[in-house]
Amino acid sequence: MKLTLATTLGFATTALTAAVPHTKRGAAISVTPHDSFSSSVGVLGCKINTDRVAYWPTPVSCAGVCVRVDAKGRSVFLLKIDTSGGAHDISYDAYNYLVTGQGAAENPIMGGPIEATYEDVDMSECAGLLSNANGKLGFAAANSMNFISSCPAGTWVGDNYSLFNIANSACTLGHDEECHLDLAVSNQPACPHMLGEQSELTTAPVWNKVYGTGVSVKGQ
């Protein structure tokens, strides 16, 4: 029903995001560091811990976006909310932690791919990475409907998304206010300000840790 709806709304349907099977335990990958937050599905950097993100080749799944990566006897939980061209990138801070046991700000390193394993895990394992007070995953209301509408009720994302009137993943444009989607009324989210309005937003900065130094710089 949601997929039909997406067509009605004029969004490109991305049906395959809804039914990505969970990986078997401990699939082998080679991970590399990524130092600038982005999300192909419109997750807002100011609503999550951007030091714990996975940028992977597989589509973002409606069933859940929490993965556990193990390497060198350590593990991290990551939000898999972006797609890459082929690499298994993870946030620089998470990479730095797997290699050294310390964060990128404390002990920044540079390095190549490391051998790791990963598995999809229950979203409860990633609860601490969501900075939204309501425990939901925050999306940009104006440009995430393609993905959201591909996630049926009963999937984790379908039941646990929230929409904000913030226009970009770095949270520098828009209004930090919640929007509501009531499909009985409209196929567009309703927000206190006009949907997608691009005022300068300075209250919800997203910080990236620069590769090699661990210095925090504000995302653009």
Contact with ligand NAG (CB under 6 A) among 154, 186, 199, 213: 154
Least distance CB 150 / ligand NAG (angstroms): 15
- In terms of CB distance, is 111 or 154 closer to ligand NAG? 154
Distance CA 41, CA 141 (A): 11
- In terms of CB distance, is 57 or 154 closer to ligand NAG? 154
User: Which of 145, 187, 180, 148 minimizes the C-alpha distance to 65?
Assistant: 148
Contact with ligand NAG (CB under 6 A) among 30, 57, 115, 159: 159
3-state secondary structure 31-71: EEEECCCCCCCCECHHHECCCCEEEECCCCCCCCCEEEEEE
Q: Work out whether 128 is an interface residue with ligand NAG (CB under 6 A).
A: no
- In terms of CB distance, is 59 or 152 closer to ligand NAG? 152
- The piece of 82-90, 108-116, 148-156, 206-214 that touches ligand NAG (CB under 6 A) is 148-156
- In terms of CB distance, is 126 or 167 closer to ligand NAG? 126
Least distance CB 160 / ligand NAG (angstroms): 4
Around 57, how many Cα atoms within 13 Å sit in the side-chain half-sphere?
8
Distance CA 82, CA 139 (A): 13
User: Which tokens in the block code for residue 80?
Assistant: 């898999």
Q: Work out whether 111 is an interface residue with ligand NAG (CB under 6 A).
A: no
- The count of chain residues that interact with ligand NAG, using the rule CB under 6 A, is 6
Q: Work out whether 11 is an interface residue with ligand NAG (CB under 6 A).
A: no
Q: Work out whether 113 is an interface residue with ligand NAG (CB under 6 A).
A: no
Least distance CB 127 / ligand NAG (angstroms): 7
Contact with ligand NAG (CB under 6 A) among 132, 156, 205, 207: 156
Determine how many CB atoms are found less than 10 A away from the CB of residue 198: 14
Least distance CB 153 / ligand NAG (angstroms): 8
Residues binding ligand NAG (CB under 6 A): 135, 154-156, 159-160
